[in-house]
Structure 1
Amino acid sequence: MPTELIRRLSGNIEPGDHPYLNGAWTPLMEEVNATDMRVLEGRIPDDIDGVYLRNTQNPVYQSIGRYHPFDGDGMIHMITFKDGQATYRNRFVQTKGLTAEQEAGKRLWAGLMEAPSLSSRPGWGAHGSIKDASSTDVVVHAGKALTSYYQCGEGYRLDPFTLEQLGIPSWSPLDGISAHMKVDEATGEMLFFNYSKHAPYMHYGVVDKHDKLVHYVPVPLPGPRLPHDMCFSENYAILNDFPLYWDPELLKEGKHVVKFHPEQASRFAIIPRRGQPQDIRWFEAAPTFVLHWLNAYEEGDEIILDGYFEEEPEPKNFSGAPKGYERMMSYLDQYKMKTRLHRWRFNLATGKTTEQRLDDRTLEFGMINQQYAGRKYRYAYSAVQVPGWFLFHGYVKHDLLTGESWEIRLPDGQYASEAPFAPRINAKDEDDGYLVTFITNENTQRSEALLIDSKRFSEGPVCRIELPHKLCSGTHSCWANGSAVRDGLLSGL
């Protein structure tokens, strides 16, 4: 496979036994372009056209104090498919924070696990003292990729095919944008939210298909909260106020310690997509925390919302973790949090909420065919975590109409990425397409791209493609339709 080395960064990560600086989380310092990819198994289908983008946490400089994997610098990996061929490249997201640290030759900001006073410079986002690494999420909207940081940052745009850095959107609000912007492929709109430690504590906004901010309103909350995701239906946006947030008393001392308040209900804000604060309808439900939603849609008087309910939002400390990392390891273990596929129904006529468990297995990081986002859908694809680790080693496909499900697992020593659904060219129905993912193979010390035919899900990968280097793990990814991106549209219809 012809591979062109673009740049190798000279970081200063010290060798050690940190659980998230080794193995599948080993930092990668080089940026490359690769063409004529080597196919290890099967063949690249000629009925797939688009780009898979994956955001990873990839630290360049030694941390100030204890390192949390979410402190790592954003690095985007992409693989394109067209006419039975594939190309790959990767780039660091050149954030303001990374640029400043490159100039200084060292880390300037303390991370999530250390006191804000250790940072050399003022920081970004809801926390207020950490670096906007833009390392959490990535979507494609209006023909451009947009990366984001989960504690809110400015967002960075890149060309989805070349990864050319295109800067911060002109519409980025003062309080930034959180991870999990939502693109509606039917309208071309992108919905987003942010949160902060000052009133009103949350905002909600809409960017139209021309990349113009057309709506931005407050969503008043009782105090600082930690929302991580949002969802939408055809006519509404759905935001949340969960009873897991920074301890208010410790926050007065400048300490950011998450605490669960089980005596408080979960609250859901349902607002018309161009609605005002007075239009918000609040619904209550069982106390929990939800990292990620699958989808929402309207049915009669009800809005139906699917996501991953945490039975233990404040898990007990991880036994056997390195000293000082017990709490961090616990909050990265979905088996400790007991994440379950769950359904909420909000009745707009009665104001009542009903809930339903859809699966008792530990699942998270779900994906759907994005052409059905905000609309009634049938199929969902959830990731299976490695117990004790923020790593995936399998997937479950759900048929939400019949209740059937199918599960596949990777061989031992192989770890997967979040896997979006890529519709087949001229797809006939909702699950006519592929799951796309990167895997890291610790047995070979290499990484690969896999394609899984959703129609033949249980058979596993139909194609394995060798990547030019071993990827560091991370969080989120997306799929963008090739013709839509080339036409300057969003990643959809």
Structure 2
Amino acid sequence: MVISSCLIFAVYSIKLILFSIGGEEPIPLPPKRQPISSRKPSFPSNIFNTFDDFVNTYIDPPRKSCVDPKYVLSNNFAPVDELPPTECKVVEGSLPSCLDGAYIRNGPNPQYLPRGPYHLFDGDGMLHSIKISQSKATFCSRFVKTYKYNIENEAGFQIIPNIFSDFNGLLPSVTRSAITLARLIAGQFNPTNGVGLANTNLALFRGKLFALGESDLPYAVKIALDGDIITLGRHNFNGKLVKSMTAHPKIDPETNEAFAYRYGPFPPFLTYFRVDPNGIKTTDVPIFSIKCPTLFHDIAITKKYAIFSNIQIGMNPIKFILTGGSLVGMNSRKISRLGVIPRYAKDESEMRWFDVPGFNNLHAINAWEEDGGDTIVLVAPNILSVEHTIERMDMIHGCVEKVKINLNSGVVSRHPISTRNLDFGVINPTYVGKKNKYVYAAIDVPGFNIVYAINAWEEAGGDMIAYD
């Protein structure tokens, strides 16, 4: 059994267990950062790095706190190093012998301290795992060994630019793009091998565990018997997946199918597909009704439909050019929509869009059908003050709502479930696509963007009963 922090939280009826890492003997502290490669940089590398430093110092220094490493990489988000499998001493309580599996979480963590602007979303993926077996717990932290990680680890410095950090304004973007093109011509990297970070989510599909980031293919990983985390490599579903894939696919627990998509800056801006129970990717379904690049971060499914959220966040070229802000931002004139398409659609001819003004959800908790399939219900946190999503995440608030779509009349109704600041909601995965009772979500500390507790709730007659 493998339990992902992004998939489900399991609660066991056992007394409190406290751990300390390392057993009786203190373990040596790891180095503060990854060791720089002993390989001497080539002459072209020195040239490119000099230009990089010039851009970072004079053209695009980290002027805003949202991309200043001194602020971004502090407190709860300070970088950590890899930790090999380390046994945790049980200092109170005991582990039941029947408890066998692993708890794993994924998140961004930069391999090297940034030399210029850095956004929280742009760190290399790092997996943290607690493997429990035979009444013992083993903790381990490892980077996902993506292609980007490997070539930069060998070089000793950043080579491939990051989306949210390195493209802030026209002049910085042009200069960094020119340097990247020069590195490409010099053979320092091959973009066909992937440029993603695998830092967003984990998914368990067909007995395989994947680290996911929406700018690349999935990376297969495994937990070794000794608790170590091993990256097996990029997974392309027998060559059928050649571009990126969402970090939040939805897996039907009854059919064992995965429903996914990709999005990007060029038409078609959204492409839907699924992977059948045998691991075979189906034909792409391009969604041409999306007319501009939009951030599609999550998907929801019911027994008959897949649901997409066309929110107000997307590429904002005017702000990008005029103010030097991030290329990704909010379009205040856009009306948010929910798109519904049959799960097994061959094309977008049956795609229907429903206006839901002001509803901007980055994550979907669950969805299901009611009234004999005539009504779709979506439960998701609506991000209030969505304009701050990229640059001031400490100012956003996730208000969980239940949205109902009447497919016959086209009427959309909304009902707030909680006013607390909640996100990253998960459910028992056996209830994906059908009505569930319990939800587990993270509570955010106002003003600090730090999750400090887990909130569980159940619905009773449409109301929420919370358990902190």
Q: TM-score, normalised by structure 1?
A: 0.71
Amino acid at match of 1:234: K
176, 182, 185: which one aligns with 1:118: 176
SS of aligned partner of 1:164: strand
Q: 2:419 aligns with which of 360, 373, 384?
A: 360
Aligned position for 1:268: 338
Q: 1:285 aligns with which of 356, 359, 370?
A: 356
Percent identity, aligned pairs only, is: 27
| Contact 2:309 2:361 survives alignment (8 Å) | no
Match of 1:200 in 2: 268
Q: CA offset at residue 383 of structure 1?
A: 0.7
Q: CA deviation at 1:189?
A: 1.3
Over the aligned positions, Cα root-mean-square deviation in angstroms equals: 3.0
- Retained in 1: the 8 A contact 2:417–2:464? no
Match of 1:344 in 2: 403
CA shift for structure 1 position 17: 7.2
1:158 counterpart = 2:229: no
Instruction: Deviation per CA, 1:227-255: give whole Å up to 9, x if none.
Output: 11111112211112112222243568997
Structure 2 vs 1, CA of residues 67 and 169 (structure 1 numbering), >3 Å: closer, same or farther?
same
1:185 shift after superposition: 2.0
Q: Where do residues 95-106 of structure 1 align in structure 2 (5 Å cutoff)? A: 95-106=146-157
Deviation of residue 160 (structure 1)? 4.2
- Displacement of 1:299: 0.9
2:51 is matched with none
Contact 2:107 / 2:125 at 8 angstroms: preserved in 1? Answer: yes
| Amino acid in structure 2 at the alignment position of 1:266 | S
Change (3 A) 1:195 1:255: farther
Counterpart pick for 2:387 among 314, 317, 325: 314
| Greater radius of gyration (CA) | 2
Q: In 2, Cα distance between the equivalents of 1:389 and 1:109?
A: 30
Alpha-carbon shift at residue 47 of structure 1 (Å): 5.1
Cα distance in 2, alignment partners of residues 342 and 155 from structure 1 = 30
Contact kept, 8 Å, 1:310 with 1:338, in 2: the verdict is: yes
CA positional deviation for 1:378: 0.4
Q: Which amino acid aligns with 1:30?
A: E
Give the Cα–Cα distance (whole angstroms) in 2 for the partners of residues 17 and 165 of structure 1. Answer: 28
Matched, 1:405 2:465: yes
2:160 maps to what in 1? 109
Shift of 1:380: 0.7
Q: Compared with structure 1, are the counterparts of its residues 47 and 390 closer, same or farther at alpha carbon in structure 2 (3 Å cutoff)? A: farther
1:453 corresponds in structure 2 to: none
Check conservation: 1:62, 1:106, Cα contact below 8 A. no
Q: Against the structure 1 CA distance between its residues 229 and 398, is the aligned structure 2 distance closer, same or farther, given a 3 Å change threshold?
A: same
Tell me how far 1:82 sits from its aligned partner.
4.1
Look up the SS of the partner of 1:365 in the other structure: strand
Partner of 2:235: 169
Match of residue 209 from structure 2: 145
Asked if the contact 1:385/1:392 (under 8 Å) is kept, the reply is yes
Q: In the alignment, which residue of structure 1 is the partner of 2:9? A: none
In structure 1, the residue matched to 2:300 is 231
Distance 1:180 1:143 in 2: 17
2:257 aligned residue: 189
More strand by share: 1
Aligned to 1:423: none
User: Bigger relative contact order, structure 1 or 2, given CA contacts below 8 A and separation 6+?
Assistant: 1
CA contact (8 A) 1:215 1:274 kept: no
Aligned in 2, Cα 1:45/1:299: closer, same or farther, shift over 3 Å? farther
**Could you give the per-residue CA deviations for residues 360-384 of structure 1, whole angstroms, max 9, x where no partner exists?**
1111111111111111100111111
SS state at 2:76 partner: helix
Task: Return the alpha-carbon distance in structure 2 between the equivalents of residues 56 and 86 of structure 1.
Answer: 21
C-alpha separation in 2, matches of 1:264 and 1:143 = 41
The one-letter code of the counterpart of 2:35 is S
Are positions 1:10 and 2:35 aligned together? yes
| Aligned match for 2:453, one of 384, 394, 402 | 394
Paired letter, 1:273: R
Distance 1:160 1:274, change over 3 A: farther
Shift of 1:46: 4.6
- Could you tell me which amino acid in structure 2 is paired with residue 163 of structure 1? I
Aligned equivalents of 1:184, 1:11: Cα separation in 2: 44
Shift of 1:288: 3.2
Query: In 1, Cα distance between the equivalents of 2:97 and 2:284?
Result: 42
Superposed displacement of residue 132, structure 1? 1.2
Q: Identify the match of residue 30 of structure 1 among 60, 79, 82.
A: 82
Shift, 1:304, TM fit = 0.5
Q: Equivalent residue for 1:442?
A: none
Aligned residues: 385
Checking the alignment, whether the CA contact within 8 Å between 1:175 and 1:196 is kept in structure 2 is no
Measured at CA, do residues 259 and 67 of structure 1 come closer, stay the same or move farther in structure 2, by a change above 3 Å? Answer: closer
Structure-2 change in CA distance of 1:51 and 1:194 (3 Å): same
1:24-63 matched pairs, under 5 angstroms: 24-35=76-87, 37-46=88-97, 48-63=99-114
Paired residues of 1:91 and 1:163 also in contact (CA < 8 A):
yes
Normalised to the residue count of structure 2, the TM-score between the two structures is 0.75
